[in-house]
Each structure stands twice: as C-alpha cells, then as structure tokens.
Structure 1
Amino acid sequence: MTTELLSQKESDYLSQLTAAARRYARRTERRETNKAVLATRGVLYADDPARVDKRLARLGADWSLARAIERTPSEPVASAGSTLPMPPDRFDGAVLGLERLIGRNNLTPVAFLEEGALAARSVGRITVKGPGGGHGTGFLVSPALLLTNHHVLRDPADAARSEVAFAFQDGVDGAPLVPAVFGLEPRRFFVTDRDLDFSLVAVAARGSRGEALSSFGRLTLSEAQGKVVVGEFVNIVQHPRGEPKQLALRDSQIVDVLDEFLHYESDTREGSSGSPVFNDQWEVVALHHSAVPKTDDQGRPLSLDGTVWRPETGEQQLAWQANEGVRISRVLGALHTMTPTGEAAGLRDELFTAGPAPGPVPPAPVGSAPPPPPPNGTASGPNGSKTYATDPTAHVTDPTTHLSIPLYVTVELGTPAYPGTPTYPVTGSRPAAAPTPPAAPVPGQSDAASAVQKDVDAALLNRRLAEERPYYDRAADRAARDAYYADLDAGDGDALRRALTELLERTHSPRPRYKPMRLVYPWVDLREDGRLHSVYSGKDFSPEEFIQADAAVLQTRLARVQELLLHESTAGPAEFEAEFDALEEAMPFNCEHVVPQSWFAKLEPMRGDLHHLFACESGCNSFRGNFPYINFPGFQEAVRSACGMREDEGFEPEKGKGTVARATLYFLLRYPGLVGDAAREFPENRLPTLLAWHDADPVGEYERHRNAAVAEIQGNRNPLIDHPEWARRIDFGGVWGH
C-alpha cells in the first residue's frame, strides 16, 4: 500500500477543480437551455430579462431599439457599416454596438483594438520562486494593487517570494520586448479569499530597472450591473503556462451566469489563472480562476488519456470541458467588507476610485539599479518623511466567515441633471423646450449631463428607426395573435380570466423599466400620422417635443435631489422618499399611467408595463391625478378642462375612453388584487363604466399598432384589443383587491 501525500497548494488546487466540476455539473440543464435559446432566438433571450435590460441600458440602448434592429431585414450599407437600411448620416454607434451584440454584424471600430492594447498593458506574468513555485497571471486594479487568484498567491509568504513582469510579450516586429519586473510587497497590503479564489497584493512602485509602476496604468473595476449577459463573447488577456502575453479574442462565449461565477468556453490554458475577463467595452467582468475538468462518475478530474488525473502529472495533462471565472462584482463586494486601517485603508480605497488609462512606458535609465528597499519596513515620503508599512500580521488570509455587506441604496430618477435647471411647467397645452445646460456646470455634473444626452440620443435613434418601418403589418400581427392564444383553453367566466392572467404573466418577458422617453414616444404610442396624440385631450405633438421636454424634467428632478443630498446630510430614507414623491407630482412626465402609480406603490413591472402607458401632456397628467375613471351625468357640475371633467369622485377623459378602458381591463387581468384594496382606487362597481366605454369606442388601427409594438418589446399582448368580444365573457370579479 502506498500513501500519496499532497502539498497544501496541490490539495487546494485539487479541491478547486472538483468544486468547479460540481458547479458545472449541477448547471447542466440550465446551460443546455441557454445554448438552445442562443441557437434559436439569440443573445437577447438566453439570460434573465432584467439582466439583459441592464446590459442594453449600459450600451445606451433599450428593448425597442434592439427589437427594431433584430427584426429589420439585413441590408448591408458599406458606407455606414450597418446592416440596417439607414443612410450614413443617420448611422449611430449604438446601432453598431447592438448589431454586434445580437450577432448581426462583426464590424467594430478600430479603436476596439487600441483600447484592448491599453487594457493589456496592466496585465502581467506572476512568477512564484522557490519550491512549489510556478506561474500565473495578474493585473493592476489600482495605482499600487495587483489582483490574481488565491491559488496563485496563497499567503504573504508566497507573495514575498514572487514578482510580476509587465510587457512580457513580443513586439510588432516579432522580437521579444524587455519586460519590466516588479517585486510584490505583501507587508504593505495583502488580502486573500479562498472561497472566491482571489488575492490582492501591493506592488513595488519601481521595477528592477527603475521603471515606474504607474506607466502600466490600471484596470478600473466596477460593481455596476449590465456588463455582460449569457451568449455574449468575452476577451481574455493571459500568460498561459507562463508564456508571453496572449489574447483569446471574442471566441469565449458566456454560457451560464451563476451567483458568484461565470462559465464560458475559451482557449485559456494552464497558467492563465488570475487573468482578467473583458467584455467588448474592455470592462473587467470576471477574474479567470479555473478550467472545469472532465470527471469520472466519482467526480475525480480526468487526464487526457481518460485516467484519473493526479497533481504531480501537471496541469497540461488535464482534460478540460469549460472555464470558470469569479464575477468581479463579487470580488468587490468581499473587499467592501474589509475594515483596514492606516496605509492599508488608503490602498484599499484607491481600488474603488476611477483611474487614468495606461500611457506609454518611459525607457528605463541606462545602467540604473533598482531603488534600495526601505529600511525596517518604512518608505520615504514627501520631504524625507517616513511612512510606515502596515503591520505584516494585518492580513485577511482566509475570510471564510464573511461580514455583513453595507447597505447601498440606489435611487433611479431616470437620468441625471444639471443643478439650477428651470422647473418644467405642469400646466399648459404644449411642453416647454428642453433648457440649455449652463456653460459651466457644477463640478461633478458632466457625467450626469452625458447620461441625460445619452437617453435623448437613444430615443431619437429609436425615432429614426421607426420612420423606416411600416406602421402596422396586419397579416404579421394576425399571425402573431393567433400563435399567442393558440394553447389558451378559453372557456368563459372565471376560468377564462384565470387562463388569461397566467398567459399574460408567463409571456411578460422582458419587463422593461419605466422609460417613456425611449419606449413610449419614439414608436409604441405613435399614431398613423407619425405624431403623438394626448390620450385625454387629443392634442397632437411631435415625438421629439416630448423627448426633449422629458429630458428637461429629468434634469430638474435630479438637480433638486442633488441639492437635498448636499444640504440635508441627516435626511433619512423616509425624507428622501417623500422628496422623490413630491418631485414626481410637481414635475410629471408627458406620460400617463391609466392605472395611477400610487395604486401599486410605483413598483415594477407595473410601472414600466407599456400596455397602460400613453402620451399625455403634463397638464392633463396633473389634472387627472390619481382619480378613478367615472361617467359624469350631463347635468352634474364638475371641473372641466380640455383634458376632461374631474370631481372628488373621479375623472372622465375628453378623448380616448375606449383606449383607456381596454388598458385598465388589461391591468386588472395582468395584476389581479392590486386595484381596489384602498380608498379612492377604482371600485368594482365601476366595471360597467369600462365595459360601456369599450363598446362605444371600438378598437382601431392605432391600438392594434400599439398592441403589436408592445408585444415586440415585452412579449405579452392585450386580450381586449385582440379579442374585443371577450370583454363580456370574462368574469372580472376575482381581480379586485379586498
């Protein structure tokens, strides 16, 4: 009998491999489903709709634009590089980015390669010297810190005998460059997490030949969601087996997203541990940490020859089936739980601040020697002062007991704004023009202004695409309608109501957030004349008017919030919520929820459900408020305007009664129990009013266009538009909350 003794490092690595293989095996069904959806429907449908929505938003797009591109026949335009039938002067970078994501077009600006070259400069080869040493990959994530895997640098002792070499690669002439080699300084900073398989360590400020670490830049990490989705291709810069730097470019496809890990298919090999995984915008989405090995029925990794793999045979003998990376947001989340002090606190905090891109490397002085190490753990500071390194015992070496992550509250008002933007009037028949931003915005507001303009640009692009589409394709919509209800066991009464509720909820995917500027005005709510007609007054506006006016509202709202943040440092969640409610009430969008937002606490998906969102000038929006619909007898006194009549018991619109009735009935079917559970909400005894309006004002071309446009974006349809006759067959008794 022989007993095989494994080193701790070998044992850790074997455990990591088997854990990765178990995760991969558990996700087989989900992964195969993802692949099937990718093959049949495409990248927009394989991941969770909320994640896809965030990805589109990060690209400056939305579902309306994505679906328009996806459904438009491919007609290459050489001068624009687009597959859409758009002249060059209407071509937009967002179009090319979406075509690339969807798989319609492989073109990309040449800047993509230039940005990738800059990002690759921050990636280096790690060499662990001495017994049990080897190679890995790491990358700079702050001015002083390098990120890699725990299994590459397990502890401060490993790090202290290691070095990182940048520019270890071939030049454009094929000749090797002279690498810049830097020592690691775990006494200044070292943290590691075995479960998430990452280590973060300080790097010397100067290389062995005097090179400046700052010349290699850094890769700024972000916790923001929407950096990548299932089906998207990623890029990996790596040092496989310790070889010169290499790149797996867009042949690595995300096939599954787990809570803490990503699974992808790529050409990474051993030695790639610790490599950054990038999306097409060269944002780091994951820390590559392991290949997923093939295993036997006992879960043991297999060698290339089919036998059970043993660590002493080497990584090169493992039989791989996939790769696994740690989601970078989870790494950052773990780092947030740290409570370092002194210099370590400052170094950790630098990780969460944006930094400049790497620039050209200055040549090292001829014959220069590396700077002498600081005596007794100190480093020279300004004016000869001494800055003491952190206590070498102050390392988080295996934080398997995680601390509570601090609560971060994100408030989304749609888009940021300039402070001081004039308040948009809430009365009047025409929206005001968008205000001109001040020439010198308050420091820190340039990003906010850019975000506002990004929304406007995306909305206007959606509008231009709408001009290229037929307004309503009757034959195609009839086929889509028949297919949608094909499996519905209709019946009558409550059975029909329940079947429709189940169908509407199941097919409501994706579930876009409330963005009328992008989704309602450019296409969904257009009339046959290419303009928007107020659902209550009937007055007409151009889509561009409402887009610009809502942008002004967004700017003003956020300006007020920023003032509150600046001057009311003690305000709590309740105060902020009250302020947000007051802002929305005082400065509404030119968009009406036929079921008022207060009835469902402004929650999604109700708030963004396009079936009950309509263009409506803000004056009418404010006039209606949250009053339920009612029929006023001709002899009754009521407050009257161009929008309709209003009194304490309700509101009767001047126009669009059949339209709002069908939208309200849709809402009752889609969200049973949300209406009628509080005072002043639409009571059950008003149902005959909706049915009467539905009968008196039948469905027309406009509503059929709306229904088809909404179905393209969020998947479900309004049964009262598709089958008006069902209104009298459905038992709505079970939809009211009590």
Structure 2
Amino acid sequence: MVTSGRVARAETGYAAQMERAGLRFESRTAQREENRRTVASRGVLYADEPERVEKRLARLNADWSLARSIERTPSEPATTTGSTLPLGPAEFTADVLGLERLMGRNNLTGVAFLEGGHLAARSVGRVTVTGPGGSRHYGTAFMVSPSLLMTNNHVLSSQEEAGRALVEFNYQAALDGRPLAPASFALEPQRFFATDVDLDFSVVAVAEAGDQGERLADFHWLPLDGSQGKVIIGEFVNIIQHPDGEPKQLALRENQVVDLLDRFLHYYTDTARGSSGSPVCNDQWEVVALHHSAVPETDPEGRHLTVDGALWQPWMGEHKLAWKANEGVRISRVLQALSRLTLNGTAARLRDELFQPKGGAPLPGEGPPAAAAGAATGPGPVPSQGPDGMIPGAHGLLPGPDGQGPAAYGQVPGPGGPLPGLTAQPVSGAAVDVTVPLRITVGVVTPAPERPALDGTAASGAAERDLNAALLNLRLMEGRPYYDREADLAARDAYYAGIDVDSAGDALRDALTGLLEETHERRPSYSPARMLYPWVDLHPDRLLRSVYSGKTFTAEELIRADAAAEAARLGRMQAFMVRESTVGPDRFAAELDTLEASLPFNCEHVVPQSWFTKREPMRGDLHHLFACEPACNSFRSNIPYTDFPGFDEAVRDDCGMREREGFEPGHSKGAVARATLYFLLRYPGLIGDAEGEFPQDRLPVLLGWHESEPVSEYESHRNAAVAEIQGNRNPLIDHPEWSRKVDFSGVWR
C-alpha cells in the first residue's frame, strides 16, 4: 500500500494532471455557464456549434426536420410506443428513440442499449502496477484493438512501468453478487508502447493468453473513431470504471457534457466520479473520450480538498478527493497523436490495427494508403484534401474525421518527427514505414461506420437507411399546417429588426449579407430526399413540381428515386475502389463526377454546382434547391439564365428554351430569380463573369423576372421551412421591394 512516506509516481502524476485540468476548467467558466443556460432554456440542440449538432444528428440517422418535429410534440410519451411523436408502432424506430433520448424527451431505450453496454464492459479491465517495495497503484484500461490496451500516462508512464503491470478482466460481481474469477493478462510493452504526457494516454500491447490460458480475444475491444458527431454539449455519457481499484462499476447516463475544448471535454456528475483510464461512451457505446482527471474542489487558497473537507494529499488516493467536474481527453486527439508516430515492423502493424473498423480488414480506400520512401503499404495515394479540409466524395466533398480531412487520422510528420510529448517504443528493422490510416466514406450522408460487403449489400443498406429516414420525415409533416402567414410575418419582422429599412445601396447589401451569414446557423449537407422533398419544396396541394417544367410528382416518388440512385452510386464506387489498385485524386474526383452525372438526383441547384466546385454550405443550402426531373436538369446544364427576345433560334423543350449563351425556364421564373439573388447576397464574390458562369449584365433579367411574378404562398412556405432548418431567410421573398434598393454590383468577384 502507498503511505505518506512513499508517494507513488502515479499519484504525483495524477496531481499534476488534476492541477492542469482545474486551470482549464476555471478558464472556461463563462462559456460553460452559458452552455448550461442554453441547454436549460432551449435544449441540447442549441448549446453546441451548429455544425457539430448537424453531425451528431446525422450519426443518429436523423436530421434537423425530424428534431424539430420532436420539439413540437408534447413531452408526455404515448402509451403504445413510448414515443412523444404521433407514430404508430410500425414507424417507431430505434433512430427516433435515440433522438428523443438525446433531446431529453423520452427516457426509454431499446434493450440493445444494455446488450451494447455488456459487450463494451467486457473490454474494460483493472490495471495493477507493482512498484518498488511491493507498493501498488491501480487504474482502469480498455482494449482498443485485438492487441492494444489504452489507459492514462499517469497510470503507465513508461515501458519499464508497463512491464511491471497486468490487466484483469472480469474483476466484477456476477448476477448473484458473487465475484467472478478475474482473467489476468501480462502487458507486453516490448511489442508496442506509446505514451503522451500532455494528452495523458498510454497504449500498450497485451499478451494473447492469460495466466490460466484465457483468450484475450474473448474480451472484445472498443473500436475508436475520430470523426465528429459522437457527442455534443448537453448530452449524457457513460463511464465504465474500476474506481480506486474496486470491482468494475458503471456510471450510467450520470455525466452531462458541459464544455468541449480543443483537446478535452468537461462533464458534470451528481453521484459518480470517473476513474483514471476509463472509456467515456455515448449512448451508442462509442468511445468519445479517455477519462483522465477530476476537477478538484479547492479552498480559498487553491488547495485541494477531501470529501470530508480536509486538505487532500496525493498519498490519500483519488477516491478521497472532493471534485466538482470530470475531464476527459477527446479520443479524436488521441488518434491524431498515434497516427503521427513513425513506426515499422510489428509496432506499425499493431498501430494500424487500431484504425481498422471492427470486423476485419479495412475497406477499399481505407488505411494505410501511403508509405514513406515510396514503399507502398496500402491501396494507393490518398485523395487530395479539398477546400475547407474536405475529402472529395460522392456527394461532392465529405469531411474527414473531425471534419479536418486526412489530417484527423494523421499526416506524415515533417522533419521534426512526431508531436512533442509523444513517445513510442522503437522497433529495430531495416526500413521505416510511415503509414497514414484513412477511412473514405463515399456518398453516405450518415457517417455511421460499417464494413460494406463487396456485393453491394452495405451500400444498399446505407441507402435504405436514408430512404427510411426521408419517408419518416414525410409522414411527420402530413398533419402540419402548410403555411401560417401570421406567425411567419412575426418571424420576418423579428428577423430584420436590426436592418435599417431606410438604407440602400452598398449599406443595405452589406447589412443583409452579414445577417444571412450570421443566422445561417445550421448548414445541412446536400440530401434532397431528406431535407427538400418531404416538406420544404411541397406546394399547397402537397405535391412537388419540377421547377422548370411544372410536372408534378409525389414526394415519395422522388424520395424513392433518389434512394435508388444513391444505392447504385455507392455500389459502383465500391466496385471502382476494389478494381483500381491505385487511385489518384484527379481520377477519384472524375469517377465521382461521372457517377453523379449518370445517376442524378431529382434536384436542381439554380446556381450550378460547378460554379462553386460542389462545396458546402453552398451545395446543401436549401434556399436555392428545387425539385427537378433529371431531363430538365440535364437540359439546363450549367448554362446561366437569360431572356430570349424571340423564339426562332432557341432550342425548345418542356423545361424551357436554351441556347449556348443562356437558358430561359418554362416555369417558376420569379422563384428561381429570387433564389439566385439570395445566393448572390449570401455568398458575395463566389461567382462572377468567368466563362460559363453568371455575367453581371444578366442582373436585369433576374430583377425583371422577380418583378413580373409576385411571391406566391408556395415560396413563402419554402422560406419559412428553410428558415426553420437553416436559420436564415430570403430577403427577396420577405421584402420584394428591396430588389431595387440593394446595389448588387458588389457581389460579383
């Protein structure tokens, strides 16, 4: 046992981590309290950054329209399903339940939650480190690959210390309250050991067989994922732990996330503290953080206090500390650090296993895709990073892990080597391979990790999930009033309250541009089947109309058509990635463009995607998206709008008229003009007089269409629906008279 005469290094290390955690916590007091007020007054969807909330909803296979439907319903659950939504049992899915649970509208959960927790808990063990003189200290650890275990640096600080440690699984009580027989495994730091003092993690290899011949594989492992969307501010997390070396325990939905820092997250608890090295999991049992420190209660002089109010000393142990919050290291930052290690041989192979999806080999296009010194260790070059740190994908540009492109899973270190503070056990060998693990998710709006089969089964499954989500959105909107004019006028007046209505020219344009950008809080990715067809683009008869031809469709028709196109795209991209052994960025992008052209959605961007290189948020901005059958979409192509003085020379079609220099729609000229004018205000300088884009001399055409076709109830409904999802409005719909007051000349680049 540790005494005051011999303080273990682990305890002094924990004290140092605790000190730094306390400083970080105090520095964020104002932001944290604002987060708590927002969660209490508006709900969990509004406290975090809109982009993070969007990614969290997408990970739950939901979107903003479904979330708003839940918000509008009574909080008392129905007796048949438990849901607060007006759904029958056949429509009440785990996706809906998970979203209601996230939003605090329903405490019910499927039994799969317990089954998932049981499997997750099997991966968690107690680490015992024997020190000089027989002293011991304990920590929690969990398997993160078939061979590797993760805990804190202050639990295992060095290879030498890891060599004196073991991990025990099943150190817990059985159903009858009697203890299970623990399975003890030696650690093997000579095979792999990596540690980082600043991020307070250590990763070490574990022996394949236990002291009594137990198999390590029987205890499973928790896969790590560096992508965003696993947790947001206000959400509750779960901690599986061995507090103070005690039998395994679970803090179930007791820790509420109150702040997200660049490398850490803070969470409050009323009843349970964390334990060093524990996995912090969301309700889907995905690891969101590595628990590493309490935020201590202090006296007026800043000294740490015990639970009974005395002064705390490191020799007393973690369990005697009075705390006010917990701190975890974001798992995405741990993965970044590990990916930057320069390794070879066995150590490189073991590290790369950590980045593979659970279930086997990586997907086509997954890591390791590149090697140093020309030594190919993967399927080929990494697709180049696009604008805003995005990776080209079938929907245009897909975020890499943590929304930061390939760097989130690692970039090849420069001459300076690994990150400061990160050390690894060197392995001898003739060559040094630098691998960059990468997961390429092609065309799936919901980023839930899954290993697709080569026969396209997983592609069909992903498309089917999107289809079901879109159809659920459609059913949720069936009973809603189409357009509440009185409420919308009130919302309009509040929205423009800060605009000087007497201003004009550059001043009015700049004020509107600033307002549109500031209030564009939620920026949905391009997904017309889920975001456009079920509600936004419906006409008063609850049908969709092609924006150029006027042909009518039911929402379900276009939803199912787009789902079929999506499934076909995914299947073909899988086949392409398997067929091609090396894929450069240009070839990758060209294949995606070909697939989109050959399998189009029933959606038109009135400002063509090629003009802004398919980037978000422009691509998913609902204000300029309209239902449109592929024939009309293809007929217009990316030709700018124009007015034809006569009809003899123009090529005619149900969709309108076209010549090389311009396209005149057959229908909806006023609507497409107002949508284009919105785009010019929202994204000034993005498009211009470049060949094939929108020349400035066409502005009178748009203004003429705008004035000749007044705003309809359909457009007012669209505007209100988009504002509900994105947060911003179209000023030309709300105030048509402003079209001649705004100086649009400053929006061209």
- What TM-score does the superposition give when structure 2 sets the normalisation length? 0.85
What residue number does 1:469 align with? 480
Alpha-carbon distance in structure 2 between the residues aligned to 1:235 and 1:11: 27
What residue number does 2:353 align with? 350
Shift in Å at residue 405 of structure 1? 8.6
Alpha-carbon distance in structure 2 between the residues aligned to 1:311 and 1:553: 61
Shift in Å at residue 6 of structure 1? 7.0
1:661 aligns with 2:673: yes
- One-letter identity of the residue aligned with 1:168: Y
| Mapping of residues 222-621 of structure 1, within 5 Å | 222-266=225-269, 272-295=275-298, 301-303=304-306, 309-355=312-358, 400=421, 406=436, 408=438, 410=440, 412-414=442-444, 443=454, 445-493=456-504, 494-621=506-633
Alpha-carbon distance in structure 2 between the residues aligned to 1:75 and 1:127: 47
What residue number does 2:111 align with? 110
1:158 aligns with 2:161: yes
Alpha-carbon distance in structure 2 between the residues aligned to 1:208 and 1:289: 28
Shift in Å at residue 60 of structure 1? 0.7
Alpha-carbon distance in structure 1 between the residues aligned to 2:668 and 2:143: 59
| Mapping of residues 73-88 of structure 1, within 5 Å | 73-74=74-75, 76-88=77-89
User: What SS class does the counterpart of residue 90 from structure 2 fall into?
Assistant: helix
User: What SS class does the counterpart of residue 477 from structure 2 fall into?
Assistant: helix
What residue number does 2:400 align with? none
What residue number does 1:197 align with? 200
- One-letter identity of the residue aligned with 2:295: V
Note if contact 2:56-2:230 (Cα within 8 Å) is conserved in structure 1: yes
Shift in Å at residue 111 of structure 1? 2.1
Shift in Å at residue 83 of structure 1? 0.6
What residue number does 1:14 align with? 15
1:96-123 CA-partner distances (Å, limit 9, x unpaired): 1111111111111122112212211211
Alpha-carbon distance in structure 2 between the residues aligned to 1:733 and 1:300: 63
Note if contact 1:684-1:736 (Cα within 8 Å) is conserved in structure 2: yes
What residue number does 1:695 align with? 707
Shift in Å at residue 356 of structure 1? 6.2
Note if contact 1:627-1:651 (Cα within 8 Å) is conserved in structure 2: yes
Shift in Å at residue 529 of structure 1? 1.4
Shift in Å at residue 635 of structure 1? 4.5
Q: Which range moved further: 548-557 or 592-601?
A: 548-557
Shift in Å at residue 516 of structure 1? 0.8
Q: Do the aligned partners of residues 411 and 185 (structure 1) sit closer, same or farther apart at CA in structure 2, a change above 3 Å counting? A: closer
Q: Do the aligned partners of residues 140 and 30 (structure 1) sit closer, same or farther apart at CA in structure 2, a change above 3 Å counting? A: same
1:583-618 CA-partner distances (Å, limit 9, x unpaired): 333432110111111111211111110000000001
Q: Do the aligned partners of residues 92 and 622 (structure 1) sit closer, same or farther apart at CA in structure 2, a change above 3 Å counting? A: same
What residue number does 1:377 align with? none
Alpha-carbon distance in structure 2 between the residues aligned to 1:68 and 1:271: 35
User: What SS class does the counterpart of residue 44 from structure 1 fall into?
Assistant: coil
- One-letter identity of the residue aligned with 2:535: W
Q: Do the aligned partners of residues 268 and 207 (structure 1) sit closer, same or farther apart at CA in structure 2, a change above 3 Å counting? A: farther
Shift in Å at residue 324 of structure 1? 0.8
Shift in Å at residue 647 of structure 1? 0.5
1:49 aligns with 2:70: no
Alpha-carbon distance in structure 1 between the residues aligned to 2:500 and 2:72: 30
User: What SS class does the counterpart of residue 532 from structure 2 fall into?
Assistant: helix
User: What SS class does the counterpart of residue 467 from structure 1 fall into?
Assistant: coil
Point out where structure 1 has 5 or more consecutive residues left out of the alignment.
Answer: 358-395, 417-440
Q: Which range moved further: 348-357 or 329-338?
A: 348-357
Note if contact 1:415-1:554 (Cα within 8 Å) is conserved in structure 2: no
Note if contact 1:192-1:397 (Cα within 8 Å) is conserved in structure 2: no
What residue number does 2:31 align with? 30
What residue number does 1:675 align with? 687
Shift in Å at residue 447 of structure 1? 2.4
Note if contact 2:139-2:155 (Cα within 8 Å) is conserved in structure 1: yes
- What TM-score does the superposition give when structure 1 sets the normalisation length? 0.86
1:203-244 CA-partner distances (Å, limit 9, x unpaired): 233333333222222212222321111111100011111111
Shift in Å at residue 442 of structure 1? 6.1
User: What SS class does the counterpart of residue 481 from structure 1 fall into?
Assistant: helix
Note if contact 2:519-2:728 (Cα within 8 Å) is conserved in structure 1: yes
Alpha-carbon distance in structure 2 between the residues aligned to 1:597 and 1:70: 33
1:482-531 CA-partner distances (Å, limit 9, x unpaired): 22112222223222221111111100011111111110111110111111
Shift in Å at residue 716 of structure 1? 0.5
Shift in Å at residue 28 of structure 1? 2.1
Alpha-carbon distance in structure 2 between the residues aligned to 1:5 and 1:442: 56
User: What SS class does the counterpart of residue 141 from structure 2 fall into?
Assistant: strand
Alpha-carbon distance in structure 2 between the residues aligned to 1:561 and 1:356: 21
Shift in Å at residue 140 of structure 1? 1.6
1:629 aligns with 2:632: no
Rg comparison, structure with higher value: 1
Note if contact 1:415-1:558 (Cα within 8 Å) is conserved in structure 2: no
- One-letter identity of the residue aligned with 1:320: W
Alpha-carbon distance in structure 2 between the residues aligned to 1:185 and 1:269: 32
Alpha-carbon distance in structure 1 between the residues aligned to 2:175 and 2:253: 21
Q: Do the aligned partners of residues 567 and 113 (structure 1) sit closer, same or farther apart at CA in structure 2, a change above 3 Å counting? A: closer
Shift in Å at residue 562 of structure 1? 3.4
Shift in Å at residue 401 of structure 1? 5.5
- One-letter identity of the residue aligned with 1:174: G
Shift in Å at residue 444 of structure 1? 6.2
Shift in Å at residue 292 of structure 1? 1.5
Note if contact 1:137-1:271 (Cα within 8 Å) is conserved in structure 2: no
Shift in Å at residue 167 of structure 1? 1.6
Alpha-carbon distance in structure 2 between the residues aligned to 1:170 and 1:54: 38
Shift in Å at residue 74 of structure 1? 4.0
- One-letter identity of the residue aligned with 2:82: G
- The percent identity for this pair of structures is 63
- One-letter identity of the residue aligned with 1:676: G
1:736 aligns with 2:739: no
Note if contact 2:467-2:560 (Cα within 8 Å) is conserved in structure 1: yes
Shift in Å at residue 299 of structure 1? 6.0
Q: Which range moved further: 496-505 or 213-222?
A: 213-222
Alpha-carbon distance in structure 2 between the residues aligned to 1:674 and 1:398: 37
Q: Do the aligned partners of residues 401 and 313 (structure 1) sit closer, same or farther apart at CA in structure 2, a change above 3 Å counting? A: closer
Shift in Å at residue 399 of structure 1? 6.1
What residue number does 2:396 align with? none
Alpha-carbon distance in structure 2 between the residues aligned to 1:507 and 1:322: 33
Alpha-carbon distance in structure 1 between the residues aligned to 2:88 and 2:9: 63
Q: Do the aligned partners of residues 64 and 320 (structure 1) sit closer, same or farther apart at CA in structure 2, a change above 3 Å counting? A: same
